[in-house]
Amino acid sequence: MATAFSEFQRRVFIGFPRTDGEAYIAVKQAINDAIMALVSTGEVDSLLTTDTSTAATVDGQKSYHITTGLLLTRPRDIFSIILHDDSNSRKLVWVAPRELDLKIPYPERFGEGRPKWYTRFGNYIELIRIPDAAYTLYIRYSQWPAALTTDASESPFGAEWDHIITFLAKDIANAYLSGQYLNFTDRAIAYLKLGLAEAITKPDEGMTARPFDPCSEYTSIGETWRDPFFKRSV
């Protein structure tokens, strides 16, 4: 069971030089800032999730906002997207925005179909080809932690993180009350020493020896003369 916000407050105040109202406000903020600083050093298992119920395409729509369109909860990084279509399901291939713009600057010209590629730019996901129907999307992604607001709110970390959160929050609260500057992330890394050893990377955005090829591993059906992804036999 994760540690509650009220328990963190009790621990931070043990030996703390002040217990007045201003200190109480500083400590509550410092606990949340400590958690956010630790999360910023790498991915955390408890904040990794797979959405299989809310994200879906819209017939004829290319671009989707990751929160208001795909309905992801506090999204941070996207690791993988699967277009779920029963036996025709496929993992979408991530492509860098600049490379996609270079190869396919006007995807609307080529009609709609089952998407194969995706890119993220800011808070938007773009699908290529533009979907020709409503498809469910299975999305693996990481989340930012929810702020602890009530005494019963729980830490997103396991109990093994409690001492780090406690002492980092003490440092941050002291910095607030003394007016001193403190780099929260640097202090978090110092407490973690080498950081999160098992941090998960973004494999879809990794380097690859073969450049993006809009003609590879793709079979076109129907009006091939309108399909920029169709590889013509020679």
Query: Which residue, among 229, 12, 39, 198, has the nearest Cα to 129 in the 3D structure?
Result: 229
pTM (2 d.p.) = 0.80
Identify the weakest region by mean pLDDT among 84-88, 155-159, 212-216, 228-232.
Answer: 228-232
pLDDT of 150 reads 96
pLDDT of 42 reads 87
Would you place residue 234 in the very low, low, confident or very high pLDDT band (cuts 50, 70, 90)? very low
